[in-house]
């Protein structure tokens, strides 16, 4: 830069000092600018003339702070800070011009210059205080990058500025949370530990401000929080755990303002995480969601079961996760009521988020435990629903996805015993509560239920027999054309006459024939009132095999 160039109102001596390689001389020049600006401000304010003040700031920005010469850039930063101090409370009128060149220097390759930029911005923000809030996003964006700066001095300077900005936000009621959330949602996916620590610290601050309701925007950042919960740093994991704990407390206090539906799929994904802390935390959240939101969670049942059922077979090393998963399972099961058997699946009584498809629910474990959400996935498919009362929420129960998940887990030979038992209990419960709708799935379920009778666990066999007995005695399967009772009566009909084919060739080998034969089976003299439930179920099971054996191996006439 040509020092002889006319840069008035800056004197040639000030210009030379600002570009000097010695910090002391640049500091003297900055003090001179501050002194001169103080006089200029008084004069220009009296004249209502701001153009000259902007002219001084423009010179300091373009000719110094954004100069190609490193010493000029350092001098420009000091000059801008001095100018802000001279302007005092009126600096708020020129913040855009003051802040932008300083933020540009945050990206400088020289670590010392980045430090001077932190120092300059600190002084600008300290003078302007609440006036900087309209520029909060650009300040936050710059600080989030400096939080991961490799130079310890720069990082230390950014932390001082960060604390100052947090103080300003907490003492002001003018913070624009709506415009900040998109930036927070973007930055929360950073993999840098320091950037993550910076993000969590701000979330904790915003949570603590009474006038800021961050809970309304929790669906935007919940997935990112669970990502950070898996960080390698114990300190960051602990901070994130605290933040999630505070959110959960707030949810329990104000369930009516929580967007449960928007967060259900996020929890489903993280309930399947490989990291124990993430999985346990997500499972605890799921437990609270089911208990607080009730039937609002029913459309996500297939996904929830996909996440919960495998946990029921965990050993003592994951005892805590297993216990919470069991509560989730039991609570979800209680949400299914007899009225669900009467609702028309094609005409839902209210509009809520769509249930994930069966393909999503039954995808391979590695496909659903990645811990990340696709940008076009759950958040766009899940609708907004806010619980407004404690009254029962009427929703349509879609059994297709649930039954497919149950069938998948019962067919998996590697699945644990407790999971198989839970699946059978679910099927039994569904046949009790929704016999009409469940009967449509009987043909597809019956073969696997027959195979389960050869399970190595006696408890699994017992539950299977109880389920088969319920299917056989269900009124839904013993009426005309198998479409359930036409008059809505709960009275179970009498035995239906069974026609056993005389020759094996008359019987199709398909599972449908076996199902039809076994389900129509009359058992003379067999009554649940005359024996224990176990003996009744066993007797039913024995009768099934007798008939099936007769069908497959008929005696000669």
* Percent of the chain whose pLDDT exceeds 90: 57
Please, which residues have CB within 8 angstroms of residue 552's CB and are 6 or more apart in sequence?
A: 504, 507
For residue 230 the two structure tokens come to 């898996």
Q: Of the candidates 257, 166, 252, 249, which has an alpha carbon nearest to the alpha carbon of residue 219?
A: 257
pLDDT of the chain, 557 residues: tens digit per residue: 444 466 767 677 777 766 777 777 767 766 776 666 666 666 666 676 778 888 888 988 998 899 988 888 888 898 899 888 888 888 999 999 999 999 999 999 999 999 999 999 999 999 999 999 999 999 999 999 999 999 999 999 999 999 999 999 999 989 999 999 999 999 999 999 999 999 999 999 999 999 999 999 999 999 999 999 999 999 999 999 999 999 999 999 999 999 999 999 999 999 999 999 999 999 999 999 999 999 999 999 999 999 999 999 999 999 999 999 999 999 999 999 999 988 654 444 444 443 343 334 333 333 333 333 333 333 333 333 334 333 445 677 889 999 999 999 999 988 999 999 999 999 999 999 999 999 999 999 999 999 999 999 999 999 999 999 999 888 776 654 444 444 444 444 433 333 333 333 333 333 334 444 444 444 445 555 555 544 555 555 555 555 445 544 555 54
Phi/psi at 463 (5° precision): -65, -35
> Rounded to whole angstroms, how far apart are CA atoms 56 and 42?
14
Task: Write 173-178 long-range contacts (CB < 8 A, 24+).
Answer: 173/211, 174/130, 174/133, 175/133, 175/136, 175/209, 175/211, 175/212, 176/133, 176/134, 176/136, 177/206, 177/212, 177/213, 177/214, 177/217
For residue 43 the two structure tokens come to 């004069």
- pLDDT given for residue 13 in this prediction: 72
Cα R_g (the chain), whole angstroms: 35
Tell me if 169 sits within 8 A of 130, measured CB to CB: no
> Rounded to whole angstroms, how far apart are CA atoms 20 and 74?
9
CATH class of 1-132: mainly alpha
Domain ranges of the chain: 1-132, 260-335, 399-474
Per residue in 225-279, pLDDT tens? 999 999 999 999 999 999 999 999 999 999 999 999 999 999 999 999 999 999 9
Match 């759950």 to its residue by tokens. Answer: 378
Domains 1-132 and 399-474 fall in the same CATH topology: yes
- pLDDT given for residue 42 in this prediction: 64
Q: Of the candidates 295, 223, 210, 284, which has an alpha carbon nearest to the alpha carbon of residue 254?
A: 210
- pLDDT given for residue 328 in this prediction: 98
Task: Write 448-456 long-range contacts (CB < 8 A, 24+).
Answer: 448/407, 448/410, 448/411, 450/514, 450/544, 450/548, 452/410, 452/420, 452/424, 453/541, 455/420
> Rounded to whole angstroms, how far apart are CA atoms 420 and 439?
20
Phi/psi at 214 (5° precision): -75, -20
Tell me if 493 sits within 8 A of 475, measured CB to CB: yes
Other beta carbons less than 10 A from residue 243's beta carbon: 23
CA angle at 79 for the pair 77 and 81, rounded to the nearest 5° = 70
3-state secondary structure of 551: helix
User: CA 496: distance to chain centroid?
Assistant: 51
Per residue in 477-510, pLDDT tens? 665 444 444 444 444 443 333 333 333 333 333 3
User: CA 524: distance to chain centroid?
Assistant: 55
Q: Which CATH architecture has domain 399-474?
A: Alpha Horseshoe (1.25)
> Rounded to whole angstroms, how far apart are CA atoms 442 and 422?
18
> Rounded to whole angstroms, how far apart are CA atoms 146 and 160?
12
């Amino acid at each position: 830069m040509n020092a002889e160039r006319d840069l008035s109102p800056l004197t040639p001596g000030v210009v030379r000092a600002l570009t000097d390689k010695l910090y002391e001389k640049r500091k003297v020049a900055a003090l001179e600018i501050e002194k001169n600006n103080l006089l200029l401000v008084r004069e220009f304010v009296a004249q209502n003339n701001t153009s000259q003040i902007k002219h001084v700031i423009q010179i300091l920005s373009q000719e110094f702070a954004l100069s190609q010469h490193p010493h000029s850039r350092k001098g420009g930063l000091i000059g801008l800070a001095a100018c802000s101090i001279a302007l005092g409370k009126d600096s708020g009128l020129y913040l855009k011009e003051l802040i932008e060149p300083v933020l540009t220097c945050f990206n400088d390759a020289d670590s010392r210059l980045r430090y001077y930029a932190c120092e300059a911005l600190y002084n600008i923000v300290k003078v302007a205080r609440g006036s900087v809030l309209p520029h909060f996003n650009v300040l936050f964006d710059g600080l989030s990058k400096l939080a991961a700066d490799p130079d310890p001095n720069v990082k230390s300077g950014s932390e001082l500025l960060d604390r100052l900005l947090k103080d300003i936000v907490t003492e002001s009621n003018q913070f624009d949370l709506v415009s900040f959330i998109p930036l927070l949602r973007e930055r929360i996916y950073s993999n840098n530990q320091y950037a993550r620590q910076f993000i969590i610290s701000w979330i904790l601050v915003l949570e603590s401000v009474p006038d800021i309701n961050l809970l309304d925007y929790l669906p935007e950042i919940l997935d990112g929080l669970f990502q950070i919960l898996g960080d390698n740093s114990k300190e960051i994991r602990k901070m994130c755990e605290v933040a999630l704990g505070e959110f959960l407390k707030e949810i329990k206090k104000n369930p009516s303002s929580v967007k449960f539906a928007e967060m259900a799929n996020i929890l489903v994904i993280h309930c399947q995480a490989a990291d124990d802390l993430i999985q346990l935390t997500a499972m605890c959240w799921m437990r609270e969601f089911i208990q607080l939101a009730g039937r609002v969670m029913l459309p996500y049942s297939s996904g929830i079961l996909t996440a919960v059922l495998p946990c029921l077979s965990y050993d003592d090393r994951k005892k805590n996760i297993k216990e919470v998963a069991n509560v989730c399972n039991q609570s979800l099961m209680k949400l299914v009521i007899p009225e669900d058997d009467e609702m028309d699946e094609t005409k839902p009584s209210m509009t809520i988020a769509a249930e994930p498809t069966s393909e999503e629910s039954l995808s391979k474990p590695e496909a659903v435990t990645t811990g990340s959400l696709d940008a076009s996935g759950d958040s766009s498919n899940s609708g907004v629903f806010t619980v407004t009362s404690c009254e029962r929420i009427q929703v349509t129960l879609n059994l297709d996805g649930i039954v497919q998940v149950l069938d998948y887990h019962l067919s998996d030979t590697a699945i644990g015993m407790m999971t198989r038992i839970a699946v059978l209990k679910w099927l039994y419960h569904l046949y009790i509560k929704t016999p009409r709708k469940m009967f449509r799935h009987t043909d597809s379920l019956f073969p696997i239920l027959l195979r389960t009778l050869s399970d190595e666990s006696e408890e699994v066999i017992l539950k299977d027999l109880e389920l088969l007995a319920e299917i056989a005695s269900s009124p839904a399967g013993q009426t005309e054309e198998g479409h359930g009772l036409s008059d809505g009566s709960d009275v179970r009909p009498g035995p239906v006459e069974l026609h056993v084919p005389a020759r094996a060739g008359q019987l199709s080998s398909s599972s449908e024939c076996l199902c039809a034969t076994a389900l129509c089976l009359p058992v003379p003299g067999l009554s649940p009132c005359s024996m224990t439930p176990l003996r009744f179920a066993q007797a039913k099971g024995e009768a099934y095999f007798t008939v099936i054996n007769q069908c497959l191996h008929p005696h000669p006439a």
